[in-house]
Structure 1
């Protein structure tokens, strides 16, 4: 079953050139944080360009449950009337975060230093994912969490009545863990200090500063040291959400492997902590250019133009780039299948505990489509066959994972034979317009349980 209904089997058929403009949805990471920080300040925050995928809608519903007034004005414009730092009310019902690991972990952090309790659950995929990586550092504030074995949902979090500031070093690169600790630190007295040995996406730090928090980042021998002064009065903001680079990855990668393609993806956020995929593709020889580079809302933005690139080469992706493109490795592995030689991806253990075990899911599906893949605990290697030589023809399991489903559908656009996924339903969690957007560009996507035409 998909996360919110019956399975939706889908097939992607080899297609002609992809042409046109791909207006992908708003950035999911920024959308989640806009709603949460808007709920934690006094006054009305206006958000335009909000991603209206299921993950973000679940976060909006959660903020209402904690007492904020969240209003959808249509067209991606929303307002949030917040309750102030530490002002969350105790929810009357269980908080269902659906498929969203980002949503549940950030919300746990935001309520962890409020004197309330909340119970969290999700779909089958989310309920199987580890939460101890967040609840362990939250315990340092005085928070307590009670879940199933292995630190899994459903889980009740009891906020700290008298929180204390925390100094914490993130053990593995994780923007979710870092952000949860910083959000918890907002309602703790004194200074909360988070050190990360490897930089991860910094949307939380940028947005906290924008909302008026006192936050400073210093690069030291120990890593990036982020110091947050607790108990500020956050100020309501107007936020224009840039388009999501993780969503842009799909039309961009499709254009690179489908002959004759030329696709423009306007207004993409190019935060350096998020743009590793595009750098990697260019290293592989992709015809990918940035146009109209600019700054919007404190974030670097550009229009991306991707053209068919028949001479892609396999490379070894720098391990220190992993955090800036962790969600894009599945679709990168698809591009790697059409490159010549080996594409080596290391330092990606985090992929084992995403919505699915993404290394295993992609390796299994790629092998079924005629691609050689080797994998280990935190690495995998895809041996590409070059343009025009990928067989395809398999049905792949999506494992309730939106990025797995979309990646295999991209594969089918350039393989010799169609490629199917057992369930495309989870795509709606992050990219609800994926099908019409790709179809408008020229893709041949069919829902197998519905008549075509």
Structure 2
């Protein structure tokens, strides 16, 4: 079976309503919280991607029973101290930075050394940003070349609370510290640069001993030892990061209209909405509700005729970090020069995404000026490729977002595209191509 996709023509105008799968960040966090709870937790609309399946497999190896069927997933939690730490235990985070980094916070009291491994891509990503703060609790680590997977964690029985300044805006780092603090006597204090706050919202919903004071750029988070976590039944809202590809496809398709149902629109995640609205894209939230601490809504998007360039405020970066690749496609069709800066975090993802943005835009014939942490995009409102213009996308470390962005570019701007490694989407969005086909009908 071929592992590539060939796109030979642009998408026609469409007017559709779609549903995308459950939010990946919430799905993985639900698995971890459920594994620590007292009793049975059930989830509907759990994202059944490789990253989430890896999370389920990891807690299974820690002695937690799981039952999965088409309708729901059940996790039979054994309490905050319910993990079984077997000898020579190896946990595989596969491609998931969220799982790999967060689960370390839950292993800080392990009674046996545990080895954490990942795939080729994850093994190139920085784990020191998490092991450094976790070491302050009294945990020991051995990492490959001091930064990378595979690593070994040596848990401690005399964990001590810490004070930590998290200044990268990494939700994964912040969450790992929160999970470790749950196992620690005393109060841990984190001064965290603004980033997605799903872990804190779940802690608050579950009435765990956490307090948060927000200022303009930072949150001050205090966490005390957790004695008990109640079971958590959760109907997981749809993923804004997955929705982003269809939002952009619609925006770039004049006279098209799309509604995406029941999407997680947590304010820390909707940087893409704010940015696209500033660029003149019409986006409306309908049926807004608060569900277990998270905001959700139906998102309506209209195709845009005139797109404005943007000098993107860096304060919006953390809320759009996973969506910048597709945002850059909108900038490619804007009138004027768009400028995005302070984006070094983009190169800490599954692939060096800023470099891949430059490659994709260059293939489109769009001029860019790229540095290690910024990109200027010289937009062309009449951007349209010749039918016989051939573009090949491959060797991108199987980064799912590079694959999906390339496909959106092909459908939006034309040309003849050959995009390799379509199985890369299995990490986050297995039915992406099926939804694309539904939009083309």
Using the size of structure 2 for normalisation, the TM-score is: 0.95
- Which digits, 9 at most, give the CA deviation of each residue in 1:387-414, with x for residues without a partner? 4435663112332100111001000011
> Is the 2:85–2:110 contact (alpha carbons within 8 Å) kept by the matching residues of 1?
no
Give the stretch that moved more between structures: 278-287 or 290-299.
Answer: 290-299
Q: From 158, 165, 168, give the equivalent of 2:154.
A: 158
1:446 equivalent in structure 2: none
> Is the 1:412–1:420 contact (alpha carbons within 8 Å) kept by the matching residues of 2?
no
Q: From 376, 393, 396, give the equivalent of 1:396.
A: 393
- Alignment pair present for 1:141 and 2:137: yes
> Is the 2:27–2:47 contact (alpha carbons within 8 Å) kept by the matching residues of 1?
yes
1:9 equivalent in structure 2: 4
Q: From 411, 414, 420, give the equivalent of 2:412.
A: 414
Give the stretch that moved more between structures: 233-242 or 402-411.
Answer: 233-242
> Is the 2:209–2:226 contact (alpha carbons within 8 Å) kept by the matching residues of 1?
no
Give 1:221 shift: 7.8
Once residues 170 and 47 of structure 1 are traced to their aligned partners in structure 2, the CA distance between those partners, rounded to angstroms, is 31
Secondary structure of 2:42's partner? strand
Give 1:93 shift: 4.1
Distance 1:408 1:114, change over 3 A: same
2:32 equivalent in structure 1: 36
- Alignment pair present for 1:203 and 2:198: yes
2:118 equivalent in structure 1: 122
Once residues 221 and 354 of structure 1 are traced to their aligned partners in structure 2, the CA distance between those partners, rounded to angstroms, is 26
2:172 equivalent in structure 1: 176
RMSD: 1.7
Secondary structure of 1:279's partner? helix
Give 1:386 shift: 1.2
- Which digits, 9 at most, give the CA deviation of each residue in 1:342-394, with x for residues without a partner? 22111211101100111011211221221112111221122211144356631
Distance 1:220 1:251, change over 3 A: closer
Secondary structure of 1:317's partner? coil
Mapping of residues 178-197 of structure 1, within 5 Å: 178-196=174-192
Give 1:215 shift: 0.6
Give the stretch that moved more between structures: 121-130 or 367-376.
Answer: 367-376
2:241 equivalent in structure 1: 246
Once residues 233 and 414 of structure 2 are traced to their aligned partners in structure 1, the CA distance between those partners, rounded to angstroms, is 48
1:24 equivalent in structure 2: 20
1:447 equivalent in structure 2: none
- Uncovered stretches (5+) of structure 2, i.e. residues with no partner: none
- Alignment pair present for 1:324 and 2:322: no
Mapping of residues 248-287 of structure 1, within 5 Å: 248-287=243-282
Once residues 146 and 379 of structure 2 are traced to their aligned partners in structure 1, the CA distance between those partners, rounded to angstroms, is 37
Distance 1:360 1:48, change over 3 A: same
Once residues 348 and 2 of structure 2 are traced to their aligned partners in structure 1, the CA distance between those partners, rounded to angstroms, is 22
Aligned length: 436
> Is the 1:311–1:387 contact (alpha carbons within 8 Å) kept by the matching residues of 2?
no
2:333 equivalent in structure 1: 338
> Is the 2:392–2:417 contact (alpha carbons within 8 Å) kept by the matching residues of 1?
yes
> Is the 2:309–2:337 contact (alpha carbons within 8 Å) kept by the matching residues of 1?
yes
Moved over 6 A (4+): none
- Alignment pair present for 1:94 and 2:93: no
Give the stretch that moved more between structures: 203-212 or 54-63.
Answer: 203-212
> Is the 1:7–1:422 contact (alpha carbons within 8 Å) kept by the matching residues of 2?
no
Task: Answer 1 or 2: higher relative contact order, Cα 8 Å, separation at least 6.
Answer: 1
> Is the 1:215–1:228 contact (alpha carbons within 8 Å) kept by the matching residues of 2?
yes
> Is the 2:121–2:350 contact (alpha carbons within 8 Å) kept by the matching residues of 1?
yes
Once residues 330 and 308 of structure 1 are traced to their aligned partners in structure 2, the CA distance between those partners, rounded to angstroms, is 19
Once residues 98 and 241 of structure 1 are traced to their aligned partners in structure 2, the CA distance between those partners, rounded to angstroms, is 22
Give 1:7 shift: 7.8
> Is the 1:42–1:83 contact (alpha carbons within 8 Å) kept by the matching residues of 2?
yes
Secondary structure of 1:323's partner? coil
Give the stretch that moved more between structures: 228-237 or 391-400.
Answer: 391-400
Once residues 264 and 170 of structure 2 are traced to their aligned partners in structure 1, the CA distance between those partners, rounded to angstroms, is 19
Distance 1:14 1:110, change over 3 A: same
Secondary structure of 2:70's partner? coil
Secondary structure of 1:264's partner? strand
Give the stretch that moved more between structures: 234-243 or 114-123.
Answer: 114-123
1:433 equivalent in structure 2: 431
- Alignment pair present for 1:363 and 2:365: no
Once residues 315 and 275 of structure 2 are traced to their aligned partners in structure 1, the CA distance between those partners, rounded to angstroms, is 12
Once residues 294 and 222 of structure 1 are traced to their aligned partners in structure 2, the CA distance between those partners, rounded to angstroms, is 26
2:105 equivalent in structure 1: 109
Give 1:144 shift: 1.2
Mapping of residues 21-100 of structure 1, within 5 Å: 21-75=17-71, 77-91=72-86, 93-100=89-96
Give 1:41 shift: 1.6
Once residues 365 and 399 of structure 1 are traced to their aligned partners in structure 2, the CA distance between those partners, rounded to angstroms, is 15
Give 1:232 shift: 2.5
- Uncovered stretches (5+) of structure 1, i.e. residues with no partner: 1-5, 444-453
Give 1:419 shift: 2.7
Once residues 239 and 329 of structure 2 are traced to their aligned partners in structure 1, the CA distance between those partners, rounded to angstroms, is 20
Once residues 308 and 123 of structure 2 are traced to their aligned partners in structure 1, the CA distance between those partners, rounded to angstroms, is 39
> Is the 1:213–1:234 contact (alpha carbons within 8 Å) kept by the matching residues of 2?
yes
